[in-house]
Structure 1
Amino acid sequence: MGSVRRAAVADMFYPGEAGALAAAVDAYLAAAEPEPAETALPKALIVPHAGFVYSGPVAASAYRRIAPLRDRIRRVVLLGPSHRVPFRGIAATRADAYASPLGTVMIDRAAVDRALAVPGVGILDEAHGPEHSLEVHLPFLQRTLGSFSLVPLVVGAAPPETVAAVLEALWDGPETLIVVSTDLSHYHDYETAQRIDGTTAAAIRNFDVQGIGDDQACGRVPLKGLLHLARKRGMRISEVDRRNSGDTAGSRDRVVGYGSWVLYEADDIRPRDESDTEAVDLSAHGDTLLAIARGAIGHGLRGGGSPEPGAHEDALRAPCATFVTLKRHGTLRGCIGSILAHRPLGDDVAHNAYGAAFSDPRFPRLDESEIEGLHAHISVLSAPSPIVFASEEDLLAKIRPGTDGLVLRHGHYRGVFLPAVWKQLKTPEAFLTRLKLKAGLPADYWSADIVMEHFTATTPAEGAVGERE
């Protein structure tokens, strides 16, 4: 055996004695939820990398899901952020193996060479020596998979597209597992961390690379790279655990957030339940939602600002994405909404109703004199799901007229159409053309890098905003 990258954080982040370490990992795995029956087999994991007493239970929740793959996975591509050595690009190592107290794992040099062929990837052993974001995953992988080879990559300052290019070069088949190492928010109080991490989780769930800010995840660069490629490949993602150090072994005044997600290939996905693909039916709560919208608009007309979070019944506390459309005598008067579910349904309706009345840049602020004849339409959206297509013609064939809302993303261009727009635009060609224009692109523009997502929507509430119809 050639050079070995020795363990740097044993006895600090995890037990340094082999027997104690194996027992600790096995206990975390035994306490984790197993993979649900009849589910697909994971292709990629997003897992945290703190000391085991803090993030071990959360990491185990993802590693437990790959237990059925012990005889299938032969290579692990492991990416994590650099905490100690600042650099640009992605760093491979000259080492031939990585060591933990449980033994050594050989590095797949041929796969490393493939990574080195990608612009932005180079050798930087100094980035690997002290770095814990990769090392802490070895014991979990060793106990879960047994024998495998490793492609360890430390990620510095790099665009997500570079990370995605490396992952694509190493993706291969079912014998290869991708693991991205990241923690979430750092050193906020418990409630603030929950709010920030909830927003990050919504962005991850919706493959929203732009929705993950610099202070939301220390491993945001490799995370964004994986999400960029996963969206392109039409993958499905499932959150399996999310907590913070205040839930595990720390105090609640200054916490670090942790989450675990599992990603599945588009062609290895079980059929989703109805609840996964369709917007939630909340028609029984329509009157309440309409009252919330009226209250937010009335609050603004009295000089108030954007509504504060409110107390809602249980059905309206779950995170939901909504749009509120205002029409006066049948003519559009404002429309504001959320594509990502990132706050309670009741709060989202209040925020978007206020925004439609007072913050839509296409219209002046709503005036008291406009209440007569003003109607609100509240739409509740399902989570957006990527559309996998080979060409514009293929995309048009996959759009469902009258059913699909669409999100178009291309660089900084972005456009959204609700399913209600089908009332004016009857064909997929007209729908897509107008969506391009709304996003700021030419009507005949096309690029293989365009990303499309579809969603459905229900309208549980619509009615007059004022007392008079």
Structure 2
Amino acid sequence: MNIRHPAVAGRFYQKSPAQLKTQLEAWLSPVQPIETTPLAAIPSDHAVDPHLPTANAIRALIVPHAGYIFSGRVAAKAYQALLDVADTIKHVILIGPSHRYFFQGCALPTAEQFSTPLGNVTLNTQTIATLSEIEDFELSEQAHALEHSLEVQLPFLQTVLSNFSLLPILTSNVSPAKLAKLIDPLWQSNDTLLVVSSDLSHFHPYHKAQRIDRNTCHLIEHFEPTLTPEQACGSTGINTLLLLAKQRGYQLTRLALNNSGDTAGDKEKVVGYVSYLISNTE
């Protein structure tokens, strides 16, 4: 069996299964309720519902991918919302940016499973094989081997979901419109969750980063698929999701927004983090 072994366990998150499980369970069971900002697909000046969408309506997440000490709690805000629907989600499409390699289109793994300290995740090898025959997808063990943007989401998914298959997609030079067209038929059933992995701005002073990230969130919340890599390193995935969500009339709910200056870093060069739920309003 071809298994991709963890590349950043012990650096981005705990290598010890017991310590990792304890940390995630604590974050996923907070004492305080989540504070949210729901935003309708068609922007309005009217008041918005202050409550989370019903659990069975959740279709996608946007979550950060830095080391857990920096962004783990922000990501946990989104994953916590899946706890009530763990048994209904059978497939996960996970999209993240390639940090180490530049290539045309998207990269799919050659592995059959992804491993973490919490065990193995089975990949949707049938869909991977089908997509690999399309011009904008390629199989690349190299692109996936050391990439953290997808890996750091796996322990959260393993902790929250009961049983699922994974379709991991790394993006590089690909049009969000083209990717949206390819993802659309794969993301029709309610048992399929789309997860977009992205941090926000990088290495600006604290207050400047706050201004940049607030503007980025404004674009996201108005379904403007114009984000650049300077605004969000996973801009391709976010723009792809925004195109599909607006087309389907989905709702966005912002759960958390901060940066590394608020968590475990200094305030001279910070990285921004945000988490969103995307839900079906019907």
TM, length-normalised to structure 2: 0.90
* Structure 2 counterpart of 1:418: none
User: Which whole-Å deviations, capped at 9, do the CAs of 1:388-446 have from their partners, x for residues lacking one?
Assistant: xxxxxxxxxxxxxxxxxxxxxxxxxxxxxxxxxxxxxxxxxxxxxxxxxxxxxxxxxxx
Alpha carbons 1:96, 1:107 under 8 Å: kept: yes
Give how far 1:213 is off. 2.8
* Structure 1 counterpart of 2:252: 237
Give 1:99's match in structure 2, choosing from 108, 115, 120: 115
Residue 152 of structure 1 aligns with an amino acid whose one-letter code is P
* Structure 1 counterpart of 2:9: 10
The CA distance in 2 between the partners of 1:262 and 1:170, in whole Å, is 19
* Structure 1 counterpart of 2:147: 131
For residues 288-367 of structure 1, the aligned pairs below 5 Å read: none
Give how far 1:217 is off. 0.4
* Structure 2 counterpart of 1:319: none
Give how far 1:42 is off. 0.9
Residue 27 of structure 2 aligns with an amino acid whose one-letter code is Y
Bigger Rg, which one:
1
Q: Does 1:174 align with 2:190?
A: yes
The CA distance in 1 between the partners of 2:236 and 2:52, in whole Å, is 33
1:110 alignment partner, SS class:
helix
Give how far 1:183 is off. 0.1
Alpha carbons 1:118, 1:166 under 8 Å: kept: no
Give 2:160's match in structure 1, choosing from 135, 144, 150: 144
The CA distance in 2 between the partners of 1:266 and 1:60, in whole Å, is 23
* Structure 2 counterpart of 1:200: 216
* Gaps in structure 2 of 5+ consecutive residues: 37-50
* Structure 2 counterpart of 1:28: 27
For residues 65-80 of structure 1, the aligned pairs below 5 Å read: 65-80=81-96
Give how far 1:88 is off. 1.3
Give 1:261's match in structure 2, choosing from 276, 279, 282: 276
- Higher relative CO (Cα under 8 Å, sequence separation at least 6) belongs to 2
Give how far 1:118 is off. 4.2
Q: Kindly, what percent of the aligned residue pairs are identical?
A: 40
Indicate the RMSD between aligned Cα atoms, in angstroms. 1.6
Q: Does 1:249 align with 2:247?
A: no
Give how far 1:266 is off. 4.2
2:262 alignment partner, SS class:
helix
Give how far 1:33 is off. 3.5
The CA distance in 1 between the partners of 2:2 and 2:110, in whole Å, is 8
* Structure 2 counterpart of 1:108: 124
The CA distance in 2 between the partners of 1:133 and 1:74, in whole Å, is 21
Give how far 1:39 is off. 2.8
User: Which whole-Å deviations, capped at 9, do the CAs of 1:356-389 have from their partners, x for residues lacking one?
Assistant: xxxxxxxxxxxxxxxxxxxxxxxxxxxxxxxxxx
User: Which whole-Å deviations, capped at 9, do the CAs of 1:21-69 have from their partners, x for residues lacking one?
Assistant: 1111111112274594663531000000000000000000000111111
Give how far 1:169 is off. 2.7
* Structure 1 counterpart of 2:44: none
Residue 155 of structure 2 aligns with an amino acid whose one-letter code is P
Give how far 1:220 is off. 0.5
The CA distance in 2 between the partners of 1:227 and 1:11, in whole Å, is 33
Give how far 1:114 is off. 4.0
The count of corresponding residues between Structure 1 and Structure 2 is 265
50-59 vs 152-161, which deviates more? Answer: 152-161
Residue 43 of structure 1 aligns with an amino acid whose one-letter code is R
* Structure 1 counterpart of 2:42: none
1:112 alignment partner, SS class:
helix
* Structure 1 counterpart of 2:237: 222
Alpha carbons 2:96, 2:196 under 8 Å: kept: yes
Q: Does 1:120 align with 2:119?
A: no
Alpha carbons 2:107, 2:169 under 8 Å: kept: yes
User: Which whole-Å deviations, capped at 9, do the CAs of 1:254-301 have from their partners, x for residues lacking one?
Assistant: 11000001101243xxxxxxxxxxxxxxxxxxxxxxxxxxxxxxxxxx
Q: Provide runs of 4+ in structure 1 moved above 4 Å.
A: 34-38
1:248 alignment partner, SS class:
coil
Q: Closer, same or farther in 2 for the Cα pair 1:236/1:119, shift >3 Å? A: farther
Q: Closer, same or farther in 2 for the Cα pair 1:55/1:158, shift >3 Å? A: same
Residue 279 of structure 2 aligns with an amino acid whose one-letter code is Y
Residue 30 of structure 1 aligns with an amino acid whose one-letter code is S
Give how far 1:172 is off. 2.9
Alpha carbons 2:52, 2:253 under 8 Å: kept: no
Residue 157 of structure 1 aligns with an amino acid whose one-letter code is N
The CA distance in 2 between the partners of 1:115 and 1:162, in whole Å, is 13
* Gaps in structure 1 of 5+ consecutive residues: 268-469
